[in-house]
Structure 1
Amino acid sequence: MPISTARPEDGIVVVNVDYPPVNALPSAAWFELAETILAAGADPTTHVVILTASGRGFNAGVDIKEMQATEGFDALVGANLGCAAAFSAVYDCAVPVISAVQGFCVGGGIGLVGNSDVIVAAEGAVFGLPEVDRGALGAATHLARLVPTHMMRTLYFTAQNISAEQLEHFGSVYRVVPAEQLLETALEVARKIAVKDTRVIRAAKAAINNIDPVDVKKSYLLEQRYTYELNLAGVADEHRDAYVETGKPKGER
């Protein structure tokens, strides 16, 4: 199953994503991921959710090839709405969500981890938003939850990645460990949450969300507005076509 759930221990649900080769998700998968996360949190026996992925990397964002192979704007709208749903599901999940990141976490992956409650990462993992190289915008909202403002702007405008080790320095990644210890490290954190009174933890999650200084859902929708403008102007298609054809940003050789 591309998106699966497991209960390795009482109170702990692991949601795993497996879309080879790089976990770039088609539109429908973003909605499925959202439903899976929300359903896990809605179960009163769930105390904490761990979000993981199989393969080379945690998440490579949307499936650009699906978008370019579809006539009209249905795939674009579906991808944007699906991402919004998945990001919101992590945020709105009734219990804490721990993201366990290996390899790369780019594009839509930033939206998932940026809305997570805890992030653990494997050594050498990288995080980034290549959106401007794809003629799109989005998830600056979530990147801003991981790094200081000026670093966010630098990473966004240059489409550069940042390492898990750097994010640990900023305090947004809780721990960086060898890849073979990643799941166990996530479980260690999950156990510390799972043993607590879930009624209190659920109230705490709601309280923390309600004191957030930025409404992450509204700010992401504002970012999407500019993505739609770039698509209507034909700019985004130029960049996505170049990437599908060459695997590189437009203008890069």
Structure 2
Amino acid sequence: MSVVLTDFSDGVAIFTLNRPEAKNAVNLEVSQALAAAVDEFEARSDMTIGILTGSGGTFCAGMDLKAFARGERPSIPGRGFGGITERPPTKPLIAAVEGWALAGGCELALSTDLIVASRGAKFGLPEVKRGLVAAAGGLLRLPRILPYQLAMEIAITGEPFTAERAYQYGLVNRIAEPGEALVIARELATRVAANGPLAVRATKQIVSMAANYTDPDSFIAQRQFIDPVFSSSDAKEGALAFAEKRAPVWTGV
């Protein structure tokens, strides 16, 4: 079965990350499949808006650390993690979040335009706990949405935050009851799909440009800090410790 399921109907595209046994962790195969699905979405004139969600009650646990420990990087040049974080689609995209949206999963949600989250959903950027850096735009986008001190606390503690707290600060658009995030996201998407598709697409581009969400220079600038971390011994140790279910032993190199 495909690692990304797609459904195209009534102007709404639904992309479902489909690795429930791995909490929908993203490997290179997922990134490639999601990028291909988004390309089809972009090319279809009958599609106005998309929804990104996950199967099995989890949105996405982030990068597949076991694949990373083997040397795999789930990023596509020019498009980023999951195939969308550095170059989101030009059409609007809603994240329908159940369960965890962690690390790269949180960054996937942040790269969308609207977020619907179930009441029990949690977000987080725990990369620092694994000796890594949130390299897929989370550190660029989060402080543009949340107050600086709150964004910094989330980023450097690696601790999760609830959907209700995210809603309180404007990061989440709608709160749904558990299991209903996709239903509410569909309702929201249907309202958008009723509008002129060219107008919706242009409006999304103008708003996102004004907010500077997809500024490629920002991704280039952060690499001078990120690259030495990802090539460090600590990064390998963090991934191995996760895979081996033990506490990491940091060396600072």
TM-score (norm 2): 0.88
Gap runs ≥5 in structure 2: none
Distance 1:249-1:193 versus aligned 2 partners, 3 A rule: farther
Shift of residue 200, structure 1, vs aligned partner:
0.7
The CA RMSD over aligned residues, in Å, is 2.1
Q: Which has the higher helix share?
A: 1
Q: Percent identity?
A: 27
**CA contact 1:147–1:170 (8 Å) conserved in 2:** yes
Q: Say whether residues 1:60 and 2:56 are aligned partners.
A: no
Give, in whole Å, the separation in 2 of the partners of 1:3 and 1:215. 24
Q: Distance in 2 between matches of 1:117 and 1:128?
A: 18
Corresponding residue for 2:98?
A: 102
Q: Which ranges of structure 1 fall in alignment gaps of 5 or more residues? A: none
Cα distance between partner residues in 2 of 1:206 and 1:213: 10
Alpha-carbon spacing, 1:86–1:229, altered in 2? closer, same or farther (3 Å): same
- Partner of 2:116, secondary structure, is strand
Match of 2:156 in 1: 157
Q: Secondary structure at the match of 1:179?
A: coil
Instruction: Give 1:199 deviation, angstroms.
Output: 1.1
Match of 2:195 in 1: 196
Partner of 1:166: 165
Residues 101 and 221 (structure 1 numbering): CA distance in 2 closer, same or farther, change over 3 Å? Answer: farther
**C-alpha offsets along residues 19-57 of structure 1, whole Å, 9 cap, x if unaligned?**
122111112311321221232122111011011110131
Match of 1:234 in 2: 233
| Aligned residue pair count | 243
State the alpha-carbon separation in 2 of the partners of residues 136 and 244 from structure 1.
15
Q: Distance in 1 between matches of 2:69 and 2:125?
A: 19
In the alignment, is the contact (CA less than 8 A) between 2:52 and 2:93 conserved in 1?
yes
1:10 matched residue in structure 2 = 10
2:83 aligned residue (66, 80, 85): 85
1:111 matched residue in structure 2: 107
Change in CA separation of 1:194 and 1:242 when aligned onto 2, cut-off 3 Å = same
For residues 225 and 80 of structure 1, the distance between their equivalents in structure 2, rounded to whole angstroms, comes to: 18
Task: Answer whether contact 1:100 1:121 (CA < 8 A) is retained.
Answer: yes
2:243 paired residue number: 244
